[in-house]
Amino acid sequence: MSISVSHINKSYKDIRALQDVSFEVKKGEIFGLIGPDGAGKTTLFRILATLLIADSGQASVAGHDVVKDYKTIRNCVGYMPGKFSLYQDLTVEENLEFFATIFKTTIKENYHLIEDIYKQIEPFKTRRAGKLSGGMKQKLALCCALIHKPEVLFLDEPTTGVDPVSRKEFWDMLKRLQQKGITILVSTPYMDEASLCDRIAFIQDGKILEIDSPEAIVKHFTKTIYNLSANNMYKLIESLKTYEHAHSVYPFGEFVHYTDTRDVFDIDELQHYLKNIGLNDITIEIAKPTIEDTFMALAK
Ligand SMILES: Nc1ncnc2c1ncn2[C@@H]1O[C@H](COP(=O)(O)OP(=O)(O)OP(=O)(O)O)[C@@H](O)[C@H]1O
């Protein structure tokens, strides 16, 4: 196993940031930690990157214990924290040189690993990191995390605040790094990115709710989901929430996703109920469950 986490607990005074967290990541896998703000993702990364010690439990990275072998781990992992991983006053090139130097290597030695990514920001190599766009900062931060040729890469919300095109490019890059045998643990609040991982763990309030491949997770969703729309979406949501048979109601893109408590559900009856409340242009259609639906159901 490339990463092994066993019964990890961590509290900050009375906040239980991680509660009995266990999972394993195979070598060369892209494993996603999916969860909202405050779920405990950063705490877990910091424990695995040996920057924080858990209250109890064990963890190992690339076969090394995170407490006993912390020095070895620091040399074989790359960590891209959500914030502050770059020196804003150093140029692109200086940042990269700095990270290479502290790991006793050179840009030249491992250039093959970052080439794909670095050539996109190379035209701006004399620009200060603070003056780069979000997407470029993220590419530079990834280069800095890779320059010492890590076996395992920790990426904490690498695409937060990045535009959709750059997000897509970033995930293409991760797939290429995976082909080079690097194990990747990545967190994201974006459910569409979850489907790009080999396996994912849903995490909420410090607890793992489920671990599986994205395809298997969606298959676990057994209820029928309905896409609803009407002329007044706010009123639609409020009305559905007070409908006596409502099981779950939440906005989903331009629709509302609805599940019913009953096994046999009468669409006409719901149409009638919504019409009586004063809603018009009502549409109700069966929808395909997504990863987000499964997360919403588990988080409920
Ligand atoms: N140094 C700290 N002191 C006190 N509480 C903390 C500290 N760091 C994190 N927490 C709390 O622990 C919980 C987990 O935080 P953590 O940052 O690990 O979550 P996260 O999933 O990474 O969310 P985010 O994306 O918002 O950082 C949150 O309730 C957070 O407020």
- Output the 3-class SS for 52-116: CCCCEEEEEECCEECCCCHHHHHHHEEEECCCCCCCCCCEHHHHHHHHHHHCCCCCCCCHHHHHH
Mean pLDDT of 179-187: 95
Asked if residue 135 has its Cβ within 6 Å of ligand 1, the reply is no
Closest among 298, 288, 300, 152 to 211, alpha carbons compared: 298
Confidence category of residue 270, pLDDT binned at 50, 70, 90: very high
Is-above-0.90 flag for pTM?
Answer: no
Decide: 2 and 59 in contact? Cβ < 8 Å. Answer: no
Hey, whose CA ends up nearest to atom 31 of ligand 1?
Answer: 38
CATH number, position 64: 3.40.50.300
Question: Which is more confidently placed, 82 or 30?
Answer: 30
Confidence category of residue 4, pLDDT binned at 50, 70, 90: very high
Residue 131 and residue 265 in one domain = no
Asked if residue 174 has its Cβ within 6 Å of ligand 1, the reply is no
Q: What mean pLDDT is reported for the chain?
A: 92
Confidence category of residue 113, pLDDT binned at 50, 70, 90: confident
Confidence category of residue 37, pLDDT binned at 50, 70, 90: confident
The ipTM (two decimal places) reads 0.95
Report d(CA 144, CA 122) in Å as an integer: 13
The rounded percent of the chain whose pLDDT value lies above 90 is: 70
Q: Which among 180, 202, 218 is the end of a domain?
A: 218
Kindly tell me the sign of the dihedral angle through the C-alpha atoms of 158, 162, 167, 169. Answer: negative
Residue 191 and residue 48 in one domain = yes
Torsion of CA 14, 17, 247, 230, to 10 degrees: 110
Residue 112 and residue 23 in one domain = yes
What's the pLDDT tens digit per position in 127-165? 999 998 888 888 899 999 999 989 999 999 988 877 888
Residue 175 and residue 76 in one domain = yes
What's the pLDDT tens digit per position in 192-249? 899 999 999 999 999 999 999 999 999 888 889 999 999 999 999 999 999 999 999 9
Q: Which pLDDT value is given to residue 44?
A: 97
For residue 39, give the ligand 1 atom closest to its CA.
Answer: 21
Q: Which among 218, 247, 276 is the end of a domain?
A: 218
| Domain housing 80 | 3-218
Report d(CA 113, CA 239) in Å as an integer: 54
CA of 9 from ligand 1 middle (Å) equals 13
Hey, whose CA ends up nearest to atom 17 of ligand 1?
Answer: 42
CA of 43 from ligand 1 middle (Å) equals 6
Mean pLDDT of 10-21: 96
CA of 18 from ligand 1 middle (Å) equals 10
- Contacts of 81 by beta carbon, 8 Å cutoff, 6+ apart: 42, 45, 156
Report d(CA 57, CA 115) in Å as an integer: 38
Q: Which among 218, 239, 263 is the end of a domain?
A: 218
Residue 113 and residue 237 in one domain = no
Confidence category of residue 253, pLDDT binned at 50, 70, 90: confident
Residue 206 and residue 273 in one domain = no
The number of beta carbons lying within 10 Å of the beta carbon of residue 263 is 7
Q: What is the tally of structural domains in the chain?
A: 2
Least confident of 12-16, 64-68, 164-168, 280-284: 164-168
Residue 26 and residue 82 in one domain = yes
Residue 253 and residue 160 in one domain = no
Residue 193 and residue 261 in one domain = no
CATH number, position 268: 3.30.70
For residue 46, give the ligand 1 atom closest to its CA.
Answer: 18
Mean pLDDT of 264-278: 91
Mean pLDDT of 187-193: 87
What's the pLDDT tens digit per position in 71-99? 999 989 999 987 767 899 999 999 999 99
Asked if residue 188 has its Cβ within 6 Å of ligand 1, the reply is no
Hey, whose CA ends up nearest to atom 2 of ligand 1?
Answer: 12
Residue 158 and residue 192 in one domain = yes
Decide: 250 and 294 in contact? Cβ < 8 Å. Answer: no
Residue 214 and residue 230 in one domain = no
Asked if residue 184 has its Cβ within 6 Å of ligand 1, the reply is no
Residue 252 and residue 166 in one domain = no
Asked if residue 64 has its Cβ within 6 Å of ligand 1, the reply is no
User: Which of 8, 15, 205, 207 for a ligand 1 pocket mutation test, highest count of atoms within 8 Å of Cβ?
Assistant: 15
